[in-house]
């Protein structure tokens, strides 16, 4: 008993110091899964792709790819097994190259939906069931399924089948067929409302994981017909609303499900935009992804514009700022370390993290603290296991109690389904972890061997 008391007194009297790392935000570009810029890769469903050639077309700065499957050749018949297997191979190709896919299957890629779509709606339903089955098989790599096969370029306009009854039937097919991890997206907010008639009152919910896509951003005040052109101030649930009303609706809805698409240049309306307004609109719409090559006139203008605020982004381009803030962006704001309890040799580590991106984090992920204990053993504590739903502008305070002796503390985040690394907006090491600082104790063990190799994704790593 005396020996135990003596040991506790020794621990209580130990001197210690925590030296925090430089946690200032970085403006350097880095990539994270399921967010950011994308470009379109088009595949005719009746032709076998040359995947070796396709590799040369991939943009390795992106983690998203819009995979457009043209099924117009099959407007009068079912998709055969060869076609379905081909679509599986296409999605597998992007998964193997570490892309999350935005998938859009279309009858038309020329703006001629009325000519290229099936005459019989039952054919559309059959095709959607078949494609939904393929999406379910590839669910881990299919982040979003856009549209319902219909309209010019698959953008849900210019089709004879976009009445509420038929859209509801297609929506039901998709909800039943798609994988649990895949989000659905419709082209206009009013389509979402018509498909969710029961949500007129109270807060919005998103049990079917349906968000929005907008391929007319900034093309006009109405985003090229996405919103009402002028119109009445009264909000009628199943009718288009005025611009500001729709933006407020998107802000609420897209905290729950993704929103993305394309920015469009219009010579008249572009004069009404400013850097401050563009950034504010993208944040209000909760934009997760944008096309990097669709209308370069808009993107070139953003590259010329300077960020309108102060701080670390002052002097940087609007293009760089937008690219860095598409989707989620986790920034470690503060770290606090103090002794836990009375003389137990443990420390309480508290970390404050803010999502400074335009949008939420919509998938499952976890954040872990990595350190070595007094025996030199590599240890980890899970600080956050439910990252899904971490909203734009939300700050979370994470903490744990750990027995840490001399050594560095690291923070690492990974997506759960595949172990994909999620980098923080602070500086990170080669492995993508952010060093929080170094804890020094009076009897800390120095000279411990460093681990030479990183373990597999999702497993613990120490230095």
Residues with pLDDT less than 50, the chain: 1-11, 444-463
Angle 357-279-201 from CA coordinates, rounded to 5°? 75
Which class does domain 13-27+329-441 fall in? mainly beta
Q: List the domain boundaries for the chain.
A: 13-27+329-441, 36-325
Question: How much is the pLDDT for 203?
Answer: 83
Of 249, 243, 250, nearest in space to 213 by CA: 250
Question: How much is the pLDDT for 7?
Answer: 45
Instruction: Give per-residue pLDDT as tens, 75-90.
Output: 999 999 999 999 999 9
The domains spanning 13-27+329-441 and 36-325 adopt the same CATH topology: no
Which class does domain 36-325 fall in? alpha beta
Question: How much is the pLDDT for 178?
Answer: 87
Instruction: Give per-residue pLDDT as tens, 321-380.
Output: 999 999 999 999 999 999 887 656 789 999 999 999 999 999 999 999 999 877 778 889
């Amino acid at each position: 008993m005396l020996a135990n008391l003596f040991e506790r007194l020794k621990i209580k009297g130990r001197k210690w110091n925590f030296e925090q790392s430089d946690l200032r935000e970085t403006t350097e570009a880095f990539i994270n899964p399921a967010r950011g810029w994308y470009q379109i890769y088009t595949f005719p469903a009746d032709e076998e792709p040359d995947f070796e050639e396709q590799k040369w077309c991939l943009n390795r700065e992106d983690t998203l790819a819009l995979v457009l499957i043209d099924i117009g050749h099959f407007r009068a018949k079912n998709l055969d097994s060869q076609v379905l297997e081909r679509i599986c191979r296409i999605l597998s190709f992007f998964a193997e190259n570490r892309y999350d896919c935005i998938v859009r299957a279309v009858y038309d890629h020329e703006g001629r939906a009325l000519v290229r779509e099936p005459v019989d709606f039952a054919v559309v339903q059959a095709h959607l069931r078949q494609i939904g089955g393929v999406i379910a098989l590839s669910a881990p790599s299919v982040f979003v399924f856009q549209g319902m096969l219909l309209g010019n370029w698959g953008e849900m306009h210019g089709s004879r089948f976009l009445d509420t009854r038929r859209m509801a039937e297609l929506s039901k097919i998709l909800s039943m067929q798609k994988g649990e991890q895949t989000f659905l997206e419709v082209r206009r907010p009013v389509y979402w409302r018509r498909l969710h008639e029961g949500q007129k009152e109270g807060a919005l919910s998103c049990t079917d994981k349906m968000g929005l896509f907008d391929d007319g951003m900034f093309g006009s005040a109405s985003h090229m017909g996405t919103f009402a052109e002028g119109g009445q101030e009264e909000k009628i649930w199943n009718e288009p609303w005025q611009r500001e009303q729709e933006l407020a609706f998107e802000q609420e809805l897209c905290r729950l499900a993704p929103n993305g698409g394309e920015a469009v240049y219009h010579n008249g309306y572009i004069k009404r935009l400013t850097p401050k307004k563009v950034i504010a609109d993208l944040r209000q719409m909760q934009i997760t992804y944008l096309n990097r090559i669709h209308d370069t006139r808009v993107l070139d203008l953003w590259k010329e514009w300077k960020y309108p605020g102060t701080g670390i982004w002052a002097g940087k381009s609007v293009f760089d700022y937008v690219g860095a803030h598409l989707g989620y962006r986790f920034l470690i704001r503060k770290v606090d370390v103090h002794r836990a309890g009375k003389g137990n040799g443990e420390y309480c580590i508290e970390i404050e993290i803010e999502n400074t991106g335009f949008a939420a984090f919509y998938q499952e992920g976890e954040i872990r603290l990595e350190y070595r204990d007094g025996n030199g053993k590599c240890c980890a504590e899970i600080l956050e296991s439910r990252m899904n739903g971490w909203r734009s502008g939300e700050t979370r305070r994470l903490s744990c109690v750990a027995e840490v002796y001399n050594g560095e503390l690291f923070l690492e985040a990974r997506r759960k389904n595949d172990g994909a690394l999620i980098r923080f907006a602070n500086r990170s090491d080669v492995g993508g972890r952010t060093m929080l600082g170094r804890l020094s104790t009076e009897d800390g063990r120095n000279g411990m061997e460093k681990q030479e190799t990183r373990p597999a994704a999702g497993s613990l790593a120490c230095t």
